[in-house]
Amino acid sequence: MDLFVINRYREGDDQDIVNQETKHLEKLKKDIEERKKLHASTNVSNLKSKVIKQSNEAEKDNNTKVTVPKAIEDDSLIQTSAVEVNLKPSDKDKITHEFKVLGGNDFEQKPKVQRILPYWLSHPYSVSRNLRNEAYPIAEQAWLHSTLRSTLASDGITHLFPVQAQVIPFILQEHELPQTLWPHDICVSAPTGSGKTLSFVIPIIQVLMKDVGHHIRAMVVLPVQELATQIFKIFKKYCQKTGVKVALLSGSIPLHQEQQQIVHYTESQGWISEVDIIVCTAGRLVEHIQNTEGFSLKHLKFLVIDEADRIMDHIQNDWLYHMDKHIKLENELMSGKVPNLNWDCLNKHKPPPHKLLFSATLSQDPEKLEQWGLFQPKLFSAATVTNFEDEDQIRKYTTPDELKENYVVCNAEHKPLLLYHFLLEQNWDKVLCFTNAAQSAHRLAILLNTWSKGKIKVAELSAALDRSKRDEVLKKFTQSEINVLIGTDALARGIDIPDCNYVISYDPPRNIKTYIHRVGRTGRAGRVGHAVIMLLPSQTNSFTQILKSGGKTELPAMNIDANVFNQLTESYDNAIQETKNVINSENNFKVEKSIELKRGFKSRKRKAQ
């Protein structure tokens, strides 16, 4: 209350007022001093016992005598000055704070919460990586339709791979349940080349062939055109003699041609679909949603997202939003959130599309997976994750058992020599070599062609080539007319290049996913493969970190005899000169061509005027 005393001014009372004020001020000062003493003595006695306890412990640990500060031992010295006695800043603050600050507790460290993986992620269906086991002969899979069985046989497939033997029957069973029991969505994370594609192709066709109709009932979304084409071809092969029809929507042909393939107008039925399955790129899907009259996904039973992590990383035309919105018009349940499950809801709504997510590098991070709005999901995984606290664990990726991986350290100027040594002296055949830029791939291809004088048949395979050229190059590689392909990461993912024996990373990958997909172009389908990465001495540590970020251990090093480089130096110098000449003449040609084009444009413009 003293703080609120109001001093009124009265004439002649000046001296009285001064006396009163002085007295009052002294009283206030005295009170403050007393409170300070009281506060300090409680804190310091706590502090004293704490310091003495710590010094005792230190003595015990180190076997040495620790001197307790005089101020602590001697109670008489405990005054407000006690704050000077080796107090930690936090203790100091506690002593000098007179008043409790509202919300002060917010600054205290909260105890760490232990995060636990959701049950479906911590208890996945474990998928074996052993592709050579031959435990699942096709002949014994009674649930498999005879038409599909004979297509598998014609494709040379006699046994199912583990991921197929687990995932296909699971999907089929889910679609045999009554409609009120909606199917569990699934996520499949299995190594590259382990046969994930047939794990969704076969069950989808087998379910859809039961009643072929006039609706799109399955959709497979992929990140790039090449992959979409590859998956489309597989669907086409397995749809034979089943009555199920499939279309490719990837932008490889003009939009209006794709539109003609998928929808058709009839007087009696209105717009009907010509196909049961569409295989599309995410970007092209949005174009059809927005521009194709009669394009409808309302009857979708299956939604497959292949290379799911990549699609999510590169959101093309915001496709998930547009697709959700489109399907939501018919069925509220497609939207990201799973509704309350009650009898009324299950009966009223038809089940949402069965979502199937696949990738060799599928994140098992619940926060990332949540964006897909999965319904009571199940995980099939070749890697078991138990510890959510460990970031490396939720990104634990596996590579095929048949894949041998090495790294080799060399200087930048020795890299071409090393590559030449592998290809010509070690006779490595069917090699895929990755650089980080299309231009480097081009230069390297010219160098190897000129240097080997045609002994090594090298071709480029980059996104800079048009599609028909790329297909031609891949075909030649398969037929052994080309034995080395030099390319960029644009084609690292998902592309199934048959019989690739070696993968060389001429430039190191930028992240673990790129590494896994690069090396995964070899060692596929149970065949042996060898992947080698060239590293500059300064890159070894960062590469170890990249491996660690995917839960992989360090690779064994490959040692190269220094004489290898000495022997090749002279011929390399000549080859590099020739390479420069070729590149210069290419550049001159380009310049001349552009001048010609400009001239032609100007003369056309003049004529037009």
Ligand X SMILES: Nc1ncnc2c1ncn2[C@@H]1O[C@H](COP(=O)(O)OP(=O)(O)OP(=O)(O)O)[C@@H](O)[C@H]1O
CB of 189 to ligand X, least distance (A): 10
| Part in contact with ligand X (CB under 6 A); list of ranges 51-59, 194-202, 242-250, 388-396 | 194-202
Separation of alpha carbons 443 and 463, rounded Å: 15
Nearest to ligand X of 196, 301 (CB atom): 196
Cβ distance to ligand X smaller for residue 332 or 496: 496
Residue 434 near ligand X by CB under 6 A: no
| Site map (CB under 6 A) of ligand X, residues 335-374, x = contact | -------------------------x--------------
For residue 129, state whether it binds ligand X (rule: CB under 6 A).
no
Nearest of 260, 261, 311 to residue 286 by alpha carbon: 311
Residue 55 or residue 240: which is nearer to ligand X going by CB?
A: 240
Kindly state whether residue 232 participates in binding ligand X, applying the rule CB under 6 A.
no
CB of 193 to ligand X, least distance (A): 4
In whole angstroms, the minimum distance from the beta carbon of 474 to ligand X comes to 13
CB under 8 A, 24+ apart: contacts of 150-155 = 151/237, 151/238, 151/240, 151/241, 155/237
Token pair 């001048």 is at which residue? 595
For ligand X (CB under 6 A), the number of binding residues is 18
Report H helices in 74-213.
Answer: 89-96, 119-122, 146-154, 162-174, 196-208
- The letter for the amino acid at 309 is D
Does residue 159 touch ligand X according to CB under 6 A?
A: yes
- Of 52, 68, 87, 157, the one binding ligand X (CB under 6 A) is 157
Rounded CA-CA distance 433/506 in Å is 6
Cβ distance to ligand X smaller for residue 105 or 479: 479
Residues 6+ apart with CB under 8 A from 582: 446, 450
Using CB under 6 A as the binding rule, whether residue 205 contacts ligand X is answered as: no
Binding ligand X (rule: CB under 6 A), the pick from 351, 373, 400, 520 is 520
CA neighbours closer than 13 Å in the CB half-sphere of residue 75: 5
Is 497 a binder of ligand X (CB under 6 A)? Answer: no
Q: Which is nearer to ligand X, 193 or 509 (CB)?
A: 193
The residue (of 133 and 545) whose beta carbon lies closer to ligand X is: 133
Tell whether residue 196 is a contact of ligand X (CB under 6 A). yes
> Which lies closer to ligand X via its Cβ, residue 172 or residue 525?
525
Nearer to ligand X, 194 or 296 (CB): 194
Element (H, E) at 126: strand 125-126
Instruction: Tell whether residue 490 is a contact of ligand X (CB under 6 A).
Output: no
Shortest distance in whole angstroms from residue 226 CB to ligand X: 11
- Decide if residue 524 touches ligand X (CB under 6 A): yes
Q: Are 17 and 11 in contact (CB under 8 A)?
A: no
Residue 514 interacts with ligand X (CB under 6 A)? Answer: no
Which of these ranges, 24-32, 122-130, 329-337, 517-525, lies near ligand X under the rule CB under 6 A? 517-525
Q: Between β-strands 263-266 and 270-273, what pairing exists: parallel, antiparallel or unpaired?
A: antiparallel
Residue 412 is classified by DSSP as G
Residue type, 131: L
Contacts with 67 (C-beta within 8 Å, 6 or more apart), sequence order = 55
Q: Which is nearer to ligand X, 159 or 530 (CB)?
A: 159
195 touches ligand X by CB under 6 A: yes
Is residue 230 within 8 Å of 261, Cβ to Cβ?
no
Eight-class DSSP state of 537: G
**Can residue 198 be called a binding residue for ligand X (CB under 6 A)?**
yes
Does residue 398 belong to the site contacting ligand X (CB under 6 A)?
no
In the complex, the smallest distance separating the C-beta of residue 354 from ligand X, rounded to whole angstroms, is 19
Using the contact rule CB under 6 A, the part of the chain among 187-195, 238-246, 336-344, 394-402 near ligand X is: 187-195
Q: Counting contacts by CB under 6 A, is residue 429 touching ligand X? A: no
Q: Is 132 exposed, middle or buried (0-12, 13-18, 19+ CB in 10 A)?
A: exposed
DSSP 64: -
Question: For residue 554, which phi and psi values (nearest 5 degrees)?
Answer: -60, 150
Q: What would you report as the CA-atom Rg of the chain, rounded to the nearest whole angstrom? A: 36
Q: Judged by CB, which is closer to ligand X: 13, or 140?
A: 140
Tokens of 509: 């990958």
Which residue lies nearer to ligand X by CB, 234 or 438?
234
Tell me the three state secondary structure of residue 530.
Answer: strand
- Cβ of residue 312: shortest distance to ligand X, in angstroms? 16
Q: Is 400 a binder of ligand X (CB under 6 A)?
A: no
Measuring CA to CA, which residue among 334, 335, 333, 337 is closest to residue 348?
Answer: 333
For position 194 contacting ligand X by CB under 6 A, the verdict is: yes
477 touching ligand X, by CB under 6 A: no
Between CA 582 and CA 576 the distance in angstroms is 10
Asked if 225 interacts with ligand X (CB under 6 A), we say no
Region near ligand X per CB under 6 A, out of 74-82, 193-201, 211-219, 569-577: 193-201
Question: Phi and psi of 72, rounded to 5°?
Answer: -80, -40
| Residue 525 within binding range of ligand X, rule CB under 6 A | yes
DSSP classification of residue 535? E
In the complex, minimum distance from the CB of residue 403 to ligand X, in angstroms, rounded to a whole number = 12
Where do runs of H (alpha helix) occur along 263-402?
Answer: 282-291, 308-313, 319-328, 343-348, 366-369, 391-394
Q: How far is the CB of 502 from ligand X (least distance, A)?
A: 16
Binding segment for ligand X (CB under 6 A), chosen from 3-11, 29-37, 143-151, 186-194, is 186-194
H/E/C letters for each residue in 560-605? CCHHHHHHHHHHHHHHHHHHHHHHHHHHHHHHHHHHHHHHHHHHHH
| Residues at the contact surface with ligand X, assessed by CB under 6 A | 157, 159-161, 164, 192-198, 360, 494, 496, 520, 524-525
